[in-house]
Structure 1
Amino acid sequence: MRHALARGSLLVALVTLAFSQPVYTAPRDAKVDAKEKALVSHVSAGEQASIALLEQLVNVNSGTMNFAGVRQVADMLRPRFEALGFKVSWVDGTPFGRAGHLVATRAGRGPHVLLIGHLDTVFEPNHPFQRWERVDENIARGPGAADMKGGIVVALAALDALSQANLLDSLQLTVVLHGDEEDSGRPLDLARRDLIEAAKAADIAIALENAADNPKTAVTARRSSTGWIVKVEANSAHSSQIFAEDVGAGAAYELGRILNGFYQEVRGDALVTFNPGLIASSTQVDFEKQPLGATLSGKNNIIAPTAIASGDLRTLTVQQLEETRAKMRKVVAASLPHTSAQIEFTDSYPPMAPTEGNRKLLSMYDEVSRDLGFGAVTEVDPRNAGAADISFAADHVDMAIDGLGLLGGDSHTPEEFADLRTYPIQTQRLAVLLYRLGKK
């Protein structure tokens, strides 16, 4: 997350970023056929209506835990998908403690493409950041403007352009819009069951996140997001007796040894990271997983009998994940005198490993971008791509790519904005990519 900008400097910063975007040339006529030109025209004609829709969506609070707001956004989108010939259903989120998901399907004769997005934002109704604000001609602030109601609007506009050009039937299409991407429901296997099942039936997955907020990049690989907890128990006694043969090192030193062992012995691969987000040790520790926290009580003259650390672990592949977990278990097992420790791992978002199929899809997207005059597109460094819902689908399809939504910046902060000049870029590229996938 970027640091929030001071309010007084916001406008200058946004305008500077907006005008740092590259200037694009006109489409290369030799590379763009008549149908693709028609798609470009349809996108241009519908731009203002799409921006108006985005404003309406942003002005409905759909913080993950505002179930009514999430459903309201889904209700606003349902008739638009139905008008394009989709069958739309609502997946009730009660079994996993969330509002639910919107799923839309459309039959066709070509490859099966899965489009992935989310309805929710991080901003709940009690947050002061609630409304769309047009900063200038190019910049609009608002919760979810870029992350990622803007992505949903890009997808709808691309699909509408294909429909107006009578090209939608060349694809089988499934759209999954989650209501809990920003705070996933539990159990996670239920919360992501519909997405995984849709991916198993699909050939290609395309996600609509804003990703790196750079029109020169797209995402072909994402690291996982899993969790770990280390719990330590030790002898307790008067502090003057610490290190005595019959007393031992205490829980705090043992936890310190473990964390230092992770740093010294497990750290190394740039794409493998593990961060302790909470560390606690005292005479009494009351630990809570959700929301993460700990309440402590103790004295300096008592050797702490309890220590706990909670953190996350991120890897690019499942093999890296398993190897790293094994190394962490080995460190934990080498206890100091009169201490014992255990480590527990929890699964959350799996990795989206880099594959030849993903890079092939990026190559097609890059070619579309060049042909439309928008320049080259390269892959984002996975170190800079956080976990996202496409990771649940990537292993089940031949090709996957992310970052094709509306771009902007400062997501997850009260300064979140969309750069509206990226709307025609992203929408035209997506529409032409889908058309070319249908041709193949």
Structure 2
Amino acid sequence: MIKITSSFLLVCCLFFTLVMANVPLEKQLVASINQQLEQSQRLLIETVNINSGTQNFAGVKQVGMIFKQQYDALGFTTQWLDGSAFARSGHLVATYESNSSPSAPKIMLIGHLDTVFAKDDSFQVATLLDNKRIAGPGITDMKGGDVIMLAALQALHKQGLLSQMNIKVVLTGDEESSGRPLALSKQALIEAGKWADIALGFEDADGDINTAVTARRGSVGWTLSTTGNAAHSSQIFTEAVGYGAIFEMARILNDFREQLSDTPLLSFNPGIIAGGTRLTDTDASTLESFGKRNVVAQVATVKGGLRAASGQQLLETKAKMHKIVEQHLAQTDATLVFDEGYPPMQQTPGNLELLNIYSQVSLDLGYNKVSPVNPRNAGAADISFVAEHVDMAIDGLGLMGTGGHTKDEVADMTSFAQNIQKTAVLLYRLSVQQ
């Protein structure tokens, strides 16, 4: 694997000097991308017009098979990994290992096939708004990114450069709603991460083409349940009855806010709450309760999310939250349970160096400098399961736009050709640093 050392950085500097001698070759790459741009846009529209909401297993696989055919045509070894073991459609893995340059860096490209839009959603097809904007379900998150990575590889293949590369593409079918257990649903990602030296993610990040993601906060769900003594409300606060489940819940949530809300890059949110005499926990997004104004609440439940910048911050926060929960009001009890979640993608020197290489590519192509996204603005993504296994990783190289996860999802098509070009040149430059 490529180790990030001072000598490695020196090699990178020398490498850039050598690369500048190949500017005509890079211009040929750009020209090839521009020639196939209309074809790439047609593929984008075709895949956007196929509903692939996470639970629409057939739709997810249909999109996967379209990309499988494209990667087969480039000489990749492709495999559809069935997702029935983790209650999802599955993943597509495409691998190209060079015979002529076996020591070239192993580069992993990450995308996903699924969207947040269900099979019966009213938002189903792409709509051309003008010559710079296209609306469509999942067009930026992230079928645009899937097409960008493919188009870059097609251009490299056309110029005879793909043969010197080691590439593994993983297009997951459950990024928007991960299958369980995570050990199975993320196995393909993790195995590819262990194979790779470098990971590139093609999410749309914060929608700004002049930024990329070098760090992401981890995300984990939590459920807090409290209990108390049901009794006539006239007896609340007495020694025999105590404070009830809802006051215990209120104490805990307020202590969370007071003790944790100022922690840098940490956020936690109680998203769903219910309480009363009876409570039914229907599913991850539904709580149903019954109670009366004159009865002390016997049960209460909150479901929330927690985002942390590092594994250490996550562990420390969990410990503080458990400690707060244990300080019960009279005649109450409480339990706090954390779900499986996405690990943080921590900031590393390697990630920042990879961003610098990518930014220089952007500048050399006549575009702008690329700066890191504030981790506070970067949600969890599949690359989080990979980052700890590679030496260098960045995300946010996909199709830019606005309104992701809503019916106002619109792609900024001025970013389409730019990011295909930047990806192709980046892959070329990375492939020759050996």
| TM-score scaled by length of structure 2 | 0.93
- The residue aligned with 1:115 is 109
**What SS class does the counterpart of residue 280 from structure 1 fall into?**
strand
- The Cα shift of 1:291 comes to 3.7
Match of 1:82 among 69, 72, 79: 72
For 1:223 and 1:50, the matched residues in 2 are separated by 32
Indicate whether 1:271 and 2:265 are aligned: yes
Task: State whether residues 57 and 149 of structure 1, in contact with CA within 8 Å, keep that contact through their aligned partners in structure 2.
Answer: yes
- The residue aligned with 1:420 is 413
For 2:42, give the aligned amino acid. A
- The residue aligned with 1:254 is 248
| TM-aligned CA distance change 1:395 to 1:30, over 3 Å | closer
For 2:260 and 2:418, the matched residues in 1 are separated by 42
For 2:313 and 2:43, the matched residues in 1 are separated by 43
- The residue aligned with 1:165 is 159
| TM-aligned CA distance change 1:121 to 1:254, over 3 Å | same
1:339-370: CA deviation from partner (whole Å, max 9, x where unpaired):
11111111211110111110010010011111
- The Cα shift of 1:300 comes to 1.2
For 1:239, give the aligned amino acid. S
- The residue aligned with 1:68 is 58
1:407-429: CA deviation from partner (whole Å, max 9, x where unpaired):
11111111111111111110110
- The equivalences for 1:32-181 within 5 A come to 33-108=23-98, 109=102, 110-181=104-175
For 2:149, give the aligned amino acid. A
Indicate whether 1:292 and 2:246 are aligned: no
The range that moved more, 376-385 or 71-80, is 71-80
1:44-103: CA deviation from partner (whole Å, max 9, x where unpaired):
111111001111111111111111111111111112101111011000010000110000
1:182-238: CA deviation from partner (whole Å, max 9, x where unpaired):
111111111000110010010000011111111110000111110111111112211
| TM-aligned CA distance change 1:396 to 1:126, over 3 Å | same
For 2:223 and 2:142, the matched residues in 1 are separated by 31
For 1:402 and 1:30, the matched residues in 2 are separated by 25
Unpaired runs of at least 5, structure 2: 1-18
For 1:202, give the aligned amino acid. A
Task: State whether residues 275 and 290 of structure 2, in contact with CA within 8 Å, keep that contact through their aligned partners in structure 1.
Answer: no
For 2:241 and 2:147, the matched residues in 1 are separated by 64
For 1:82, give the aligned amino acid. D
Indicate whether 1:195 and 2:189 are aligned: yes
For 1:217 and 1:318, the matched residues in 2 are separated by 24
For 2:169 and 2:127, the matched residues in 1 are separated by 28
- The Cα shift of 1:309 comes to 1.1
For 2:58 and 2:230, the matched residues in 1 are separated by 50
Task: State whether residues 104 and 174 of structure 1, in contact with CA within 8 Å, keep that contact through their aligned partners in structure 2.
Answer: yes
Indicate whether 1:319 and 2:309 are aligned: no
**What SS class does the counterpart of residue 183 from structure 1 fall into?**
coil
For 1:235 and 1:57, the matched residues in 2 are separated by 55
The range that moved more, 137-146 or 88-97, is 137-146
For 1:145 and 1:112, the matched residues in 2 are separated by 28
- The Cα shift of 1:169 comes to 2.2
For 2:384 and 2:424, the matched residues in 1 are separated by 23
Match of 2:376 among 365, 375, 383: 383
1:25-57: CA deviation from partner (whole Å, max 9, x where unpaired):
xxxx96861211111111111111100111111
Task: State whether residues 251 and 307 of structure 1, in contact with CA within 8 Å, keep that contact through their aligned partners in structure 2.
Answer: yes
Task: State whether residues 108 and 170 of structure 2, in contact with CA within 8 Å, keep that contact through their aligned partners in structure 1.
Answer: yes
Task: State whether residues 32 and 372 of structure 1, in contact with CA within 8 Å, keep that contact through their aligned partners in structure 2.
Answer: no
For 2:347, give the aligned amino acid. P
Unpaired runs of at least 5, structure 1: 1-28
Task: State whether residues 108 and 196 of structure 2, in contact with CA within 8 Å, keep that contact through their aligned partners in structure 1.
Answer: yes
For 2:372 and 2:244, the matched residues in 1 are separated by 48
- The residue aligned with 1:217 is 211
**What SS class does the counterpart of residue 411 from structure 2 fall into?**
strand
- The residue aligned with 1:18 is none
- The residue aligned with 1:347 is 340
For 1:376 and 1:361, the matched residues in 2 are separated by 13
| TM-score scaled by length of structure 1 | 0.92
For 2:261, give the aligned amino acid. R
- The Cα shift of 1:270 comes to 3.0
1:100-145: CA deviation from partner (whole Å, max 9, x where unpaired):
0000001122100000000111111211111111111111111111
- The residue aligned with 1:13 is none
Task: State whether residues 31 and 371 of structure 1, in contact with CA within 8 Å, keep that contact through their aligned partners in structure 2.
Answer: no
**What SS class does the counterpart of residue 350 from structure 2 fall into?**
helix
For 1:187 and 1:249, the matched residues in 2 are separated by 38
- The residue aligned with 1:231 is 225
For 1:347 and 1:357, the matched residues in 2 are separated by 27
For 1:134, give the aligned amino acid. L
For 2:182, give the aligned amino acid. L
- The residue aligned with 1:431 is 424
For 1:170, give the aligned amino acid. Q
Indicate whether 1:205 and 2:199 are aligned: yes
- The residue aligned with 1:409 is 402
For 1:46, give the aligned amino acid. Q
For 1:170 and 1:437, the matched residues in 2 are separated by 11
Task: State whether residues 113 and 174 of structure 1, in contact with CA within 8 Å, keep that contact through their aligned partners in structure 2.
Answer: yes
For 2:299, give the aligned amino acid. T
- The residue aligned with 2:12 is none
